[in-house]
């Protein structure tokens, strides 16, 4: 039981990062990035190519993260421009359609070029005992990375001028413009950050188990669920929801079966919408 | 300081304001008065860059501001306090003020000035902006605008939703700001209140300037008296 919960937490921390990347972009203008899972996969494939080339794992990880951040910026500067010119429902719909298109293009090209593509980062060393449960070094590293990134994010949004500026755009875009903040620039930076987070998720999950080229839509689904449960634009909420859902996923996979887990997670999201539409920590 | 020439703007191709000429000199308080729907908010939104000008120019201290994005106009020294205030509801009052100085760090002297002007804000600095009363939100909106140390402060209907006694207090605060040397441009439906603080005024009707003159001239003008001052 403890082992299952701990595995769930490791998984949940990655979910949390995914959720943050998704929820920030959503909070800044109502766009759900349906290509998010494919950006994770892209980072994984880039890193695996660099590793297959015989380069150091660290270099592969950095290049993977940079590639994902780059794709984020590219999306913002191209596909998202017409989206942000629209308002309200039109913006939401156009955003969904265009990012879904991007998901098919990125996912399609990657599966076509690298049909067996996968990233696995094997971290050698004896398991470490946590609460009497032997955890692999990979799981420990993945958790440490996720927690460190979470701490940096909370610091960034809570204590820096630019981080406050980002939150102000989420809360009232007109108000933000009136105090001298350029929402369009903020969005570009957040798309880059969101991409980088996707890259970090790719690296950290590949330390626990292989991440394959066709994982994109599953990852997007997880990110969507975490966004709904955590609350719009809330970094802390996304992490809380991620860990919670990771534990739920791990428990249901262990005691019921892998096939049912996504359904249970979607059920949790639906329940959240019914009971607390703002999400755990949303406004 | 501020020169507006032949300004036209509106929505969906319709001109809500047209051919607006006005001027605000340094240290002056200027009132834009007019009934609901006369175009006061459209005029302010256009000067602030929230709405693109269809024609005409807006110049601040010789610098062309026309069709610049709102955040650039804000950084050029024009602070606009809209009637809806547009505060950041889930942040503390203090964070709202700090953001007013964006992208600079807040200047402690300016913060002190804001707290002196509105002691209420100092008492409630840790409270979330969304939980403040209407009057407190209005004070916060003005305070946030002042944090940028603007050259020109534009207030749209500062008394919206305020009880009469609080509206009077709000205007007393504006009087104080004017004494400190702040240049003010105020749109207000409550004409007597607006003219009490203003040096000069413009009467806006159907999107055009109908009359202009010193506050005393406007107060004595029979048309103004009939339409806005309730004098029969």
The closest of A249, A105, A231 to A171, measured between CA atoms, is A231
The closest of B60, B75, B10, B22 to B202, measured between CA atoms, is B22
**How close, in Å, is residue A184 to chain B by CA atoms?**
11
Question: What angle (nearest 5°) sits at the alpha carbon of residue B128, between those of residues B126 and B132?
Answer: 105
CA gap A101, A94 in Å, rounded: 10
Among A245-249, B86-90, B156-160, the range scoring the smallest mean pLDDT is B156-160
- Answer yes or no: are the C-beta atoms of A3 and A179 closer than 8 Å: no
Q: Which residues of B touch A183 (CB under 8 A)?
A: 71
Q: Does residue B56 register a pLDDT over 70?
A: yes
Average pLDDT, chain A: 93
Cα torsion for B191, B196, B199, B204, to the nearest 10°?
0
Q: Which residues of B119-130 are buried (b: 16+ CB within 10 A; e: fewer)?
A: ebbeebeeebbe
More confident residue, B230 or B214: B214
Residue linked to tokens 């990012």: A99
Indicate yes or no: CB of B90 within 8 angstroms of CB of A161: no
| pLDDT score at A272 | 86
A178 inside 8 A of chain B by CB: yes
Indicate yes or no: CB of B91 within 8 angstroms of CB of A168: yes
Among B106-110, B117-121, B168-172, the range scoring the smallest mean pLDDT is B168-172
| pLDDT score at A279 | 81
| pLDDT score at A167 | 93
**How close, in Å, is residue B191 to chain A by CA atoms?**
26
Indicate yes or no: CB of A179 within 8 angstroms of CB of B102: yes
> Encoding tokens for residue B145?
């605008």
**How close, in Å, is residue A234 to chain B by CA atoms?**
11
| pLDDT score at B232 | 57
Coil/strand/helix, residue A264: helix
| pLDDT score at A278 | 81
> Encoding tokens for residue B97?
């003020």
Indicate yes or no: CB of A174 within 8 angstroms of CB of B82: yes
Read off φ and ψ for residue B17, nearest 5 degrees. -120, 150
Q: Give the model confidence (pLDDT) of B21-36 as tens digits.
A: 999 999 999 999 998 8
Those residues whose C-beta lies under 8 Å from the C-beta of residue B112, and which sit 6 or more positions away, are: none
Q: Give the model confidence (pLDDT) of A233-264 as tens digits.
A: 788 899 999 999 999 999 999 999 888 888 89
B70 inside 8 A of chain A by CB: yes
**How close, in Å, is residue A168 to chain B by CA atoms?**
6
CA gap A203, A59 in Å, rounded: 11
Q: Give the model confidence (pLDDT) of B174-219 as tens digits.
A: 999 999 899 999 999 888 889 999 999 999 999 999 999 999 999 9
- Tell me what ipTM this predicted complex has: 0.93
Read off φ and ψ for residue B156, nearest 5 degrees. -100, 115
| pLDDT score at B145 | 97
CATH of the domain spanning A2-275, picked from 3.90.550, 3.40.1350, 1.10.3470, 1.20.140: 1.10.3470
- Answer yes or no: are the C-beta atoms of A46 and A63 closer than 8 Å: yes
**How close, in Å, is residue A232 to chain B by CA atoms?**
12
CA gap A75, A72 in Å, rounded: 5
| pLDDT score at B80 | 97
Residue linked to tokens 């939401």: A92
More confident residue, B229 or A160: A160
Cβ count within 10 A of residue A161 = 15
B124 inside 8 A of chain A by CB: no
Secondary structure letter of residue A131 according to DSSP = T
- Answer yes or no: are the C-beta atoms of A165 and B101 closer than 8 Å: no
Distance of CA B143 to the CA centre of its chain: 12
| pLDDT score at A134 | 93
Secondary structure letter of residue B13 according to DSSP = T
**Residue B102 pLDDT grade (very low, low, confident, very high; cuts 50, 70, 90):** very high
What residue of B is the nearest CA neighbor of A166?
A: B99
The closest of A39, A21, A18 to A246, measured between CA atoms, is A18
List of E strands, chain B: 2-11, 14-24, 29-33, 55-60, 63-64, 78-81, 152-156, 183-188, 200-205, 208-214
Q: Does residue B231 register a pLDDT over 70?
A: no
Number of Cβ pairs < 8 A linking chain A and chain B = 74
Q: Give the model confidence (pLDDT) of B135-154 as tens digits.
A: 899 999 999 999 999 999 99
Residues (pLDDT < 70) of chain A are 283
Q: Which residues of A91-125 are buried (b: 16+ CB within 10 A; e: fewer)?
A: bbebbeebbeebbeebbeebbeebeebbbbbeeee
| pLDDT score at A235 | 86
Cβ count within 10 A of residue B61 = 13
Residue A61 CB-half CA count within 13 A: 17
B86 inside 8 A of chain A by CB: yes
């Amino acid at each position: 039981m403890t082992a299952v919960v701990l595995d769930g937490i490791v998984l949940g921390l990655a979910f949390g990062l995914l959720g943050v990347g998704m929820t920030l972009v959503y909070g800044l203008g109502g766009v759900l990035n349906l290509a998010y899972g494919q950006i994770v996969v892209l980072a994984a494939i880039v890193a695996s190519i660099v590793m297959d080339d015989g380069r150091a794992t660290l270099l592969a990880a950095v290049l993977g993260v940079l590639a994902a951040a780059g794709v984020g910026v590219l999306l913002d500067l191209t596909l998202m421009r017409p989206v942000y010119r629209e308002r309200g429902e039109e913006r939401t719909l156009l955003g969904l359609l265009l990012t879904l298109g991007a998901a098919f293009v990125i996912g399609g090209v990657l599966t076509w070029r690298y049909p067996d593509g996968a990233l696995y980062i094997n971290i050698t060393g004896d398991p470490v005992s946590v609460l009497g449960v032997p955890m692999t070094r990979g799981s420990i590293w993945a958790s440490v990375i996720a927690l460190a990134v979470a701490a940096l994010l909370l610091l960034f949004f809570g204590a820096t001028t630019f981080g406050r500026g980002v939150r102000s755009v989420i809360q009232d875009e007109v108000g933000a413009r009136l105090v001298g903040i350029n929402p369009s620039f903020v969005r570009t930076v957040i798309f880059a950050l969101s991409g980088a987070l996707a890259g970090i998720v790719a690296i950290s999950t590949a330390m626990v188990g292989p991440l394959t080229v066709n994982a994109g839509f599953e990852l997007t689904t997880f990110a969507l669920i975490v966004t709904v449960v955590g609350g719009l634009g809330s970094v802390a909420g996304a992490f809380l929801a991620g860990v919670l859902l990771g534990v739920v996923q791990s428990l249901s996979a262990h005691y019921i079966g892998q096939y049912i887990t996504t359904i249970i997670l979607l059920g949790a999201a639906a329940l959240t919408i019914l009971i607390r539409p703002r999400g755990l920590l949303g406004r | 300081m501020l020169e507006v020439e032949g300004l036209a703007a509106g929505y969906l191709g319709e001109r809500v304001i047209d051919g607006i000429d006005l001027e605000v000199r340094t240290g002056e308080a200027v009132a834009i008065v007019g009934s609901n729907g006369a175009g006061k908010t459209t005029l302010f939104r256009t000067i602030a860059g929230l709405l693109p000008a269809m024609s005409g120019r807006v110049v601040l201290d010789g610098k062309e501001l026309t069709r610049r994005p709102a955040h650039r106009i804000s950084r050029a020294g024009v602070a606009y306090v809209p009637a809806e205030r547009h505060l950041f509801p889930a942040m503390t009052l203090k964070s709202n003020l700090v953001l007013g100085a964006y992208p600079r760090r807040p200047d402690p002297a300016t913060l002190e000035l804001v707290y002196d002007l509105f002691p209420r804000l100092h008492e409630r600095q840790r409270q979330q902006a969304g939980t403040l009363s209407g009057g407190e939100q209005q004070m916060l909106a003005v305070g946030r605008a002042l944090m940028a140390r603007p050259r020109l402060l534009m207030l749209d209907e500062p008394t919206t939703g305020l009880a009469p006694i609080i509206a009077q207090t709000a205007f007393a605060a504006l009087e104080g700001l004017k004494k400190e040397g702040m240049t003010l441009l105020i749109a207000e439906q409550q004409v007597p209140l607006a003219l009490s603080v203003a040096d000069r005024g413009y009467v806006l009707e159907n999107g055009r300037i109908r009359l202009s003159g010193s506050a005393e001239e406007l107060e004595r003008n029979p048309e103004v008296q009939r339409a806005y001052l309730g004098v029969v």
